[in-house]
Amino acid sequence: MVEDSAIIILGASGDLAQRKLMPALRTLYEQNQISGECLIVGSGRTPFSDDEFRDRFKLPPECTVRLFYHQHIAGLKKFLDGKGQFRQIIIFFSLPPGTYLDSAIAVHNEGFRENVRLIIEKPFGRDHSSARELNRKLEELFGEESIFRIDHYLAKEVVQNILVFRFANNLFYPVWNSRHIESIQINALEEIGVVERGRYFDEVGIVKDMVQNHLLQLLLLLTMEAPITLKPEDIRTQKINLLKSLQFEECATGQYSGYRRESGIPPDSTTETFAELRATINNFRWTGMPIHIRVGKALHRSGTEIGVRFHPVPKLLFNETGQLKPNQIIFKVQPEAGILLDLSSKKPGSDMLITETSMEFCYRKSFDGEIPEAYQKLLLDALKGDHTLFVSAEETELAWNKIESLRLPDQPFSYEPGSRPPAVLPVSWIEFDKYISACADVGRGF
């Protein structure tokens, strides 16, 4: 149980605190992961009394009495000192990315120096140069060990299970290489458009918004070498080694019709809302194998999946005409979580008629109890000082380097909202849509 801690949420009147942070903290309290002596302080520009702030959240009484509000960063340290002494202070930056550095300086100037940990949301910088500058300044102020850069995809259960799946099962480890795997494909789709994020999104586009962080992190866990231990520094070493060998080869981009009429979008914007990318990894394990990434907004459905397609079996015995489909492993990241294995098997009662069969591992069917939500896991790890699921400074800068080496087309093609654009690059995509209903009937996604 975490004790004697104060949790400060900067930007506490915003959407993230309402939807994710407060519910996560409530669950940690209810599960006795956080002591009732711990304090939560919201801070923001909006004027609230303590009671007005508490009324925004549905918290049990024992949590509510430990919830306070302070307007602005100025005076925050004195306010907190008046509530008691704390072994550690966690400060969550639920703020616009452009304010991170100024807010960190203000927090430091307030007197938050010792036993302080900063949790910072993505995007971490807008390019390599700004990320490097932000890393340098934060390290000067607080030290790298005090910085926790969040990528909430890393805390999703199916993503955490990738390393277990690869390295705890001898069935898969020997074939996890380009000699047996034909391609790796990552599919990240959203039904919604830019909604209220138009101004920010138009400055970055879908590649910087999703590929530079979330999707690259998925790829690193899927392809990195086995770490010596599960210590954060050993995992990070292998992720960084993999990043160094990654090379983007091609990119095609699209923009949904009507994007330029969204709030905050210039009428001549060429920002991409959809992208297909091809990459390779130049090391002994993966040389020659393509990696395909497809990501976009305003598409026909929402979902994130990773597909691992194996080479087909030889044209012998059951596959003389090449009719058998290759084996595939599908990691369903969201909305429903599970791992699926596509196999070939004999159809019952037939004369060696081969059919496709899927073996399904669905989280909510396999495990009793509530599956932890991503922010619940990340907040608890930060309180414990565990960096395993957080991104290092070197990772962020290397990822920006890789993205900036990719030249995007000058003009994206147009596609209709609610559709799935046809493949532009020469890719034989896994038909991810056929797995939509898998694991969906066993409970809600997470």
> CA 387, 226, 155, 295: dihedral to nearest 10 degrees?
120
Instruction: Determine the straight-line distance between the first and last CA of the chain, rounded to whole angstroms.
Output: 24
What stretches of 21-75 show up as alpha helix (H) in DSSP?
22-30, 50-54, 61-64
- Looking at the chain, how many residues does it have? 446
Buried b (16+ CB within 10 A) or exposed e, 116-146: bbbbbbbbbbbebebbbebbeebeebbeeeb
Integer CA distances (angstroms), 396 to 101, 102, 283, 387, in order: 16, 20, 21, 14
Phi, psi of 161 (to 5 degrees): -80, -10
Spatial neighbors of 258 by CB under 8 A, at least 6 apart, are: 193, 417
Residues 300, 432 contacting (CB under 8 angstroms): no
Per annotation, catalytic residue among 214, 292, 300, 311: 214
d(CA 139, CA 280): 33
Of the candidates 109, 52, 100, the one whose C-alpha atom is nearest the C-alpha of residue 76 is: 109
214 catalytic per annotation = yes
Rounded-to-integer distance, Cα 270 and Cα 255, Å: 8
Asked whether the beta carbons of 429 and 294 are under 8 A apart, the reply is: yes
Q: How far apart are the C-alpha atoms of 17 and 52, rounded to whole Å? A: 15
Residues 190-213: b if buried by 16+ CB within 10 A, e if exposed: beebbeebbebbbebbbbbbbbbb
Active site residues: 214
